[in-house]
Amino acid sequence: MAEWRQYYQNEDDEVEEDEEDSGGDYKISGRDSLVFLVDASKEMFIKSEDGETSNFDMTMQCVRSVYTSKIISSDKDLVALVFYGTEQSKNPRNSFKHVYVYHDLDSPGSQRVLDIDKLLGEKGAQFAEKTIGSGETSLGEALWCCSNLYSDIKLRLSHKRLMIFTCRDDPHGGDGAKDRQARTKAADLKETGVVIDLMHLTKPGGFDVSLFFCDIVSPPEDESELGLQIEPCRKLEDLQKRVRAKELKKRSQSRLTFSLGEGVNLAVGVYVLARTATKPSAVKLHRDTNEPVRTKTRYFHAHNGGILLPNDMKRAQVYGKKQIVMEKDEVDEIKKFDDPGLVLMGFKPMDRLKLHHHIRPALFIYPEEEQISGSSCVFTALLLKCSEKNVFALCRYIPRRNTPPRFVALVPQREELDQSQTQATPPGFNVIFLPFADDIRTLDAHVGPTASDEQVDKMKEIVDKMKEIVHKLRFKYKSDAFENPVLQQHYRNLEALALNMLEPEPIEDLTMPKVQMMDARLGPLAQEFKDLVYPPDYNPEGKPAAKPESGGGAAEKKPKAEISEEELKNHVANGTLGKLTVPVLKDACKQFGIRTTGTKKQELIDALPIFGRE
Amino acid sequence: MARAAKSALVLCMDVGFSMSNSEPGQEPPFEQAKKVIQKFVQRQVFAENKDEVGLVLFGTDGTKNRLAKDGQYENITVHRHLMMPDFELLEEIESELQPGGQQADWLDALVVCMDLLQQETMGKKFERLNIVLLTDLNVQTSADQLDVIINSLKKAGITLQFFLPFPLDGEDRADGGGDGPGPSAASARPGKGLSSQQTQGLEMVKNIMTSLEEEDGLEEVHTFRDALEKLSIFKRIDRRPMAWPCQLTIGSSLTIRIVGYKAVTEEKVKKSWTIVDAQSHQRDDVKRETVYCLNDDDETEVQKDDTIQGFRYGSDIVPFSKVDEDQMKYKSDGKCFSVLGFTKQELIRRHQFMGSQVVKVFAARDDEHAAVALSALIRALDSLKMAAIVRYAYDRRSNPQVGAAFPCIKEKYECLLYVQLPFMEDLRQFTFPMLENNKKFTPSESQLSAADALIDSMMLVEKDEDGESVDVFKVNHIPNPQFQRLFQCLHHRGVNPDDPLPPVEPWLKRALERPQAVSARCQAPLQDVKTKFPLKVVVKKKEQKTSADVFGSSADEPDAKRVKVDEEMEFNLAEIAAGNITSVGSVNPVRDFCALVRQKTVSFDQACQQLTHRIEQLLGNRSPEYYMKSIACIQAFRDQSVSSGNAELFNSYMQSLKRSVPDRNLQEFWDLLIQDALTLISKDEVDGSTISKQDANQFLAFEQKEEVQAAPVQEDTGDVDDLVSVSYLFGCFNDKLTIYYICECNYDHK
């Protein structure tokens, strides 16, 4: 069994490894920041026609979900929440009227989530009315205030984004001066590298972006991007999706040279689009103060206690009863075959990529024009041609220094858009890892029964029955449809502890089969299939090796506990029943047909004398 | 758990004088045969299975075997009895295996081997008994016993393998299914020019082999050269898959008994490196100790029992004890393979496969009803091009997965292939700019056709004579180069402990390169691509990142640099007069240091020593936040040294710091020093300095080389060495530090 278990450990190692790669880039480039600039005008609090949620409420729910997801996925990122068009003013120097900085730019924590909770729902609206209120609007002032938030941050920010949530397409009601000021301030912000997005919400009569906001928001990152989403968000899910898509900054795990041979090199960025998310590792805290502690590991000599420096230690393995010793550097050197990079070996038709040749989650590559100009063009040509000819590229891949090579299949993937014209699959090559000979295990396959002629007909009937079953239980698989119940539970638990909730919010385990629904859909099919395949006395749930009959175990036990009538009478007479054990007493009661409701020793003892007197 | 079957094998080598004869320029057969044996034993040693190996030599000057009596079975030596091969055997072969001056009958030697096998396997269970004969057959044999020998071989179930210096039929024999991809080598020698004994011997070999194994027998006759090629590849790591019995369920009532096996998974080396003392090579001489300490000035140690665990929740850390965690965590209800539904195969994207394995699922063994039921499911899925989405849990303790079970129908068997699929949390939806229809990048027609031609010229699938397409580069036939290289180096070091590591074996290098035929074919199309696509490395103006730019990001102190600049102003007399600064603390070491130097309450030497102590402490954290502070310290150190005209201390500290950079992984930090131009103090600045201006400038030149090394490091995670560097710093600069830390280990330096 040990072998199966190992898988989980291996996987953990892997994840750690990955963590480090992607970490490097992150550290250097600084932190991401995101400012939510939310309209707090009266219009935002108007409930939609179906009477469900107001735009304000929806925005707050969305902000909350970003907060909690940031906490989970990127707790170093900075987030701020600013209201404009408020009655009250609150900002660092209180120099801006009608701008309320609810949360300064900082990493989100449990308190902030609690703060947002105050603004949710009916009570939230009242609370908002009381604390921030609705008043005059000057988007220019609000943007100015936000730019101060950014400049007050002493940390290096890698990615600055500002999202405006509003349902008013003409916030200043035709006040040209205010419009102009807003445009100037927006331009200033954009100049300092802040990307401004508009998350426009429903407005009776439709939201007209061209009235004002088209001049405020940042132009799309490149020509290809579709710019403003014309339709305003109606539903929370849409809003969340839109926010989510913008909020994540993509980072490459590494940038590598992709060599086609003969000095033809292009540059590509390697991205991780799927990686097993695991529980973060625990932090050790001091019991008394809840203060984090660091660990220090050191090596010292067992006999003289001297600290051992790296040069004082070597690495060793034992083979054939002999210890083989190497320097640490040599151990690293053994793993070095070539410099990091992708080297093209050749191409193969797609059908040579076997489904079962899978050893790790795939990576994704996309050209890096900034390293080698012209990369995108070669890359695009290869992408188009590979996908047209239905071939994949086989490459040797060395991700880092002192890492042995692996072979990978570069599978072309052309861009796909979904109905709402957002990118469903990005253009590029998926990098699929291929197994070496060592990674494939030899199994002696179970050879199934060979069917005779008459069985062939029967088999057809059985297969057809199964097809019906399969047909009944069809669904459209989506890769993001399943949440990891283990992770969800973990974070709900943390949330409950951090936010002082009585108990964690229950999770829905989507990995569990919906048995009742399946049974209902199948109807009699399951039984019909079983009738066809299984003989009446066959129990597929039974263990293959018949265990000793269930009665056997109990029967064996009985004599031990049993006590003769004689003995019992003696005990009763002498008042020594207390010396007997509970099971013996229980058995005695059963043996002599005395009904007891108690399970405690005294209750049993009390019950027995009745018998003694008889 | 069933024990892996083991085999017993006797290597029987001819060392007679004829084995040393060779044509000029040719390696004598003796040397070749010796190499075959070496390689073979080497493989056995590193494969670490339980197989036992014996070694019998014939043609030796002496005689040492059980059967030798009355002049019979002479010149045959049992060199090693059956036992597991080890390095001792390898060393014996290396040093003791010498050509003999006699000749002996190889049939006699065979009898000795049979006797050895039968005697020494008695009472033990072996799956296979095998004798490997290496000889040039150049000796007179008495064929009269041949039938008896063949019969007893058959009776004892012993198999034979012959290794000869020449091929059996003068033409190349196809290799008999070895476990390496090695191309069959050209024959060692042509089949002619054999002596009459050899020709006769060859006939006997054929006779024996065909009567033992019928037709296939002849495939077990190999040439030395062929064998060497194949044996130079170390055995692949072979693990017996464990059966995982479970039940496949569809809804509440439909259940099929199944067994799963891990079929494909990334294999790791079985052994890991242990740390030993450099002098004694003893593992027990190295003790590892992990201590917990608070993040305060004194790094107060905390007992392990006084710590609890917590988890980060955004900016907060939530204490969450192990007990609570266990109680509140997700609980799975044991192993399962439950169908959640069925979906079209095309909806499951290959690049979204997760996990590190593929499991093959069969019906339970010897259960024909289960076999029929599972077969029906496999065929139904196959014909509908659908797959089952299942919840998979290995056992109660393991986390549940969602995965896909694909139908797989092969000629000999059918099964389900299970692969894990992602959870929502595993996916990152990145949006990338469009490539097609992007004016800047759209390739022209001629560029497209160049790419087209390149692909055509580089196809790794070729048509053979029968029109079948053949894959000329099968990755799943290549042994993992990492293991091959590791074993090669281990073996080399084991035999030659003082030699440097050998270069990568040529065959392994070749196996990792583009096939030659493809390389030749793609020359012209590649040139075409080269001319049609302009590719230019973008030379970036080297951004002068100052330390603040790079690490300002995560620094706890907002702008350490500014603090440093303003230092001079910040001192107020009152503070100094109060004399409350007596040593360099860790909160504001720069201020303390400057104050100490001004106050002159301690000597300049001492102040510097205290400062460097703090610097070392800060660097020990190897975290960017502390780099800023360290740099400020070094700046202050330098400034004060220049103003007090004492360059010696600063320069020697910097030199020792520089030396320690590679070992302590401080390249990042060093780069920052360079950007801040914190170099040695030169003569121009301080008269007493022994460093010329040029030397001072060159002190930085070290960067170029180091930068390469500073690239992302640590592929082996959790490697102890990450931690070693922390302790290393204590020994680096001054003895005082060393003592300070060693005291904690109850070690009295004096």
- Could you read off the pLDDT of B153-194 as tens digits, one per residue? 888 888 888 888 888 765 443 333 333 333 333 334 444 567
Name the more confident of A383 and B462: A383
Q: Is B304 exposed, middle or buried (0-12, 13-18, 19+ CB in 10 A)?
A: exposed
CA dist A38 and B9 (Å) reads: 80
- pLDDT at residue A477 in the model: 93
Helix (H, G, I), strand (E, B) or coil at B72: strand
A396-417: pLDDT as tens digits: 999 988 899 999 999 999 988 8
Name the more confident of A571 and B576: A571
Query: Average of pLDDT values for B5-13?
Result: 86
pLDDT at A109 over 60: yes
Are B352 and A362 a contacting pair at CB < 8 A?
yes
pLDDT at A159 over 70: yes
Instruction: Provide the chain A residues 563-602 that lie in CB contact (below 8 A) with chain B.
Output: none
Mutation site for B-interface testing, chosen from A28, A252, A279, A377 by largest number of B Cβ within 10 Å: A377
CA dist B667 and A423 (Å) reads: 40
Name the more confident of A100 and A231: A100
CA dist B373 and A530 (Å) reads: 8
Name the more confident of A597 and B298: B298
pLDDT at B420 over 60: yes
CA dist B440 and A439 (Å) reads: 43
As a whole-number percent, the residues of chain B with pLDDT over 90 amount to: 21
Are A297 and B290 a contacting pair at CB < 8 A?
yes
Mean pLDDT of chain A: 79
Which phi-psi region, left, alpha or beta, contains residue B458 (left: φ > 0; alpha: ψ -120 to 50)?
alpha
pLDDT at A466 over 90: yes
B503-538: pLDDT as tens digits: 998 888 998 999 999 999 999 999 999 999 988 888
**Per this entry, what is the length of chain B?**
750
CA dist B632 and A404 (Å) reads: 40
Instruction: Provide the chain A residues 47-106 that lie in CB contact (below 8 A) with chain B.
Output: 67, 70-71, 75-76, 106
- Write the residue in B288, B485, B624 that is nearest to A334 by C-beta: B485
B302-322: pLDDT as tens digits: 888 888 888 877 777 888 888
Query: Average of pLDDT values for B201-212?
Result: 84
Q: In Å, how far from its chain's centre is CA A135?
A: 41
Mutation site for B-interface testing, chosen from A298, A447, A471, A517 by largest number of B Cβ within 10 Å: A298
**Which residues of chain A are within 8 Å of residue B48 when distances are taken between CB atoms?**
319
With CA atoms as reference, the chain B residue closest to A508 would be B330
CA dist A312 and A305 (Å) reads: 13
- pLDDT at residue A80 in the model: 92
Mutation site for B-interface testing, chosen from A328, A490, A511, A518 by largest number of B Cβ within 10 Å: A511
Q: In Å, how far from its chain's centre is CA B317?
A: 37
Return the closest-CA partner of residue A129 out of A201, A37, A56.
A56
Are A261 and B526 a contacting pair at CB < 8 A?
yes
Q: Is B482 exposed, middle or buried (0-12, 13-18, 19+ CB in 10 A)?
A: buried
Write out the H or E segment, with its range, that includes residue A294: strand A293-301
Residues B261 and B377: beta-carbon distance below 8 Å: no
- pLDDT at residue B455 in the model: 94
CA dist B527 and B516 (Å) reads: 17
Q: Which residues pair with A36 in a beta bridge?
A: A81, A163
> Highest mean pLDDT range out of A123-127, A155-159, B698-702?
A123-127
- Write the residue in A158, A407, A428 that is nearest to B475 by C-beta: A407
As a whole-number percent, the residues of chain A with pLDDT over 90 amount to: 23
Count of Cβ atoms closer than 10 Å to residue B328 Cβ = 18
Are A315 and B274 a contacting pair at CB < 8 A?
yes
- pLDDT at residue A385 in the model: 95
- pLDDT at residue B193 in the model: 67
Amino acid at B656: S
Are B428 and A273 a contacting pair at CB < 8 A?
yes
Active site residues of A: 27
Mean pLDDT of chain B: 77
A508 touches chain B (CB under 8 A): no
pLDDT at A50 over 70: no
- Write the residue in A377, A399, A466 that is nearest to B443 by C-beta: A377
**Which residues of chain B are within 8 Å of residue A357 when distances are taken between CB atoms?**
264, 358, 476
Q: How far apart are the first and last CA of chain B?
A: 56
- pLDDT at residue A428 in the model: 94
A546 touches chain B (CB under 8 A): no
Query: Average of pLDDT values for A296-323?
Result: 83
Residues B317 and B327: beta-carbon distance below 8 Å: no
- pLDDT at residue B575 in the model: 44
CA dist A369 and A379 (Å) reads: 10
- pLDDT at residue B456 in the model: 93
- pLDDT at residue A113 in the model: 84
How many residue contacts between A and B have a Cβ separation below 8 Å? 776
Residues sharing a CB contact under 8 Å with residue B128, sequence separation 6 or more, in sequence order: B5, B7, B8, B9, B159
- Write the residue in A404, A435, A533 that is nearest to B481 by C-beta: A404
Query: Average of pLDDT values for A524-537?
Result: 90
Signed CA dihedral, A47, A53, A59, A60: sign only: positive
Name the more confident of B45 and B667: B45
Name the more confident of B448 and B464: B448
A480 touches chain B (CB under 8 A): yes
Lowest-confidence range among A125-129, A184-188, A314-318, B690-694?
B690-694
- Write the residue in B249, B376, B415 that is nearest to A463 by C-beta: B376
SS (H, E, C) B177-237: CCCCCCCCCCCCCCCCCCCHHHHHHHHHHHHHHHHHHHHHHHHHEEEHHHHHHHHCCCCCC
Query: Average of pLDDT values for B706-719?
Result: 31
Are B530 and A262 a contacting pair at CB < 8 A?
yes
- pLDDT at residue B746 in the model: 32
CA dist B572 and B691 (Å) reads: 35
Query: Average of pLDDT values for B630-653?
Result: 85
pLDDT at B468 over 60: yes
Instruction: Provide the chain A residues 183-212 that lie in CB contact (below 8 A) with chain B.
Output: none
Q: How confident is the model at residue B422 (pLDDT cuts 50, 70, 90)?
A: very high
Residues B381 and B320: beta-carbon distance below 8 Å: no
Query: Average of pLDDT values for A368-389?
Result: 92
- pLDDT at residue A543 in the model: 55
Query: Average of pLDDT values for A134-138?
Result: 86
Residues B699 and B679: beta-carbon distance below 8 Å: yes
Mutation site for A-interface testing, chosen from B458, B491, B675 by largest number of A Cβ within 10 Å: B458
Q: How distant is the Cα of B130 from the closest Cα of chain A, in angstroms?
A: 21
CA dist B355 and A356 (Å) reads: 12
- Degrees (nearest 5) of the Cα angle A14, A15, A19? 120
Residues sharing a CB contact under 8 Å with residue B176, sequence separation 6 or more, in sequence order: B216, B219, B220, B222
Residues B106 and B141: beta-carbon distance below 8 Å: yes
With CA atoms as reference, the chain A residue closest to B311 would be A282
Q: How confident is the model at residue A102 (pLDDT cuts 50, 70, 90)?
A: very high
- Full-model pTM: 0.70
Helix (H, G, I), strand (E, B) or coil at A88: coil
Q: Which residues pair with A106 in a beta bridge?
A: A79
- pLDDT at residue A607 in the model: 64
- pLDDT at residue B613 in the model: 83
- pLDDT at residue A435 in the model: 94
With CA atoms as reference, the chain B residue closest to A537 would be B369
**Which residues of chain A are within 8 Å of residue B307 when distances are taken between CB atoms?**
284-287, 293
Query: Average of pLDDT values for A443-471?
Result: 79
Q: How confident is the model at residue A344 (pLDDT cuts 50, 70, 90)?
A: very high
What one-character DSSP code corresponds to residue A577?
A: G
Lowest-confidence range among A182-196, B131-145, B573-587?
B573-587
CA dist B223 and B240 (Å) reads: 31
Q: Which backbone phi and psi does A389 adopt, to 5 degrees?
A: -85, 0
**Which residues of chain A are within 8 Å of residue B430 when distances are taken between CB atoms?**
248, 250, 271, 273, 426
pLDDT at A157 over 80: no
- Write the residue in B48, B379, B741 that is nearest to A307 by C-beta: B741
Return the closest-CA partner of residue A612 out of A566, A562, A579, A580.
A566
- pLDDT at residue A555 in the model: 37
Instruction: Provide the chain A residues 337-376 that lie in CB contact (below 8 A) with chain B.
Output: 337, 340, 343-349, 352-353, 355-362, 364, 366-367, 370-376
Residues sharing a CB contact under 8 Å with residue B623, sequence separation 6 or more, in sequence order: none
How is residue B107 written in tokens?
A: 């049939």
- pLDDT at residue A68 in the model: 79
Are A293 and B292 a contacting pair at CB < 8 A?
yes
Lowest-confidence range among A504-508, B143-147, B201-205, B707-711?
B707-711
Are B436 and A384 a contacting pair at CB < 8 A?
yes
- pLDDT at residue B408 in the model: 93
Query: Average of pLDDT values for B204-212?
Result: 83
Helix (H, G, I), strand (E, B) or coil at B6: coil
**Which residues of chain A are within 8 Å of residue B280 when distances are taken between CB atoms?**
none
Query: Average of pLDDT values for B21-42?
Result: 84
Sheet strand arrangement including B52-58: B76-83, B52-58, B7-14, B128-134, B158-164, B221-223
Q: How far is CA A470 from CA B378, B407, B409, B639, in A?
A: 11, 13, 18, 79
Q: Which backbone phi and psi does B663 adopt, to 5 degrees?
A: -70, -30
DSSP for B306-334 reads GEEEEEEETTEEEE--HHHHHHHS----S
Dihedral (Cα; A482, A486, A487, A490), 10-degree rounding: 140
CA dist A55 and A83 (Å) reads: 14
- Write the residue in B360, B422, B624 that is nearest to A479 by C-beta: B422
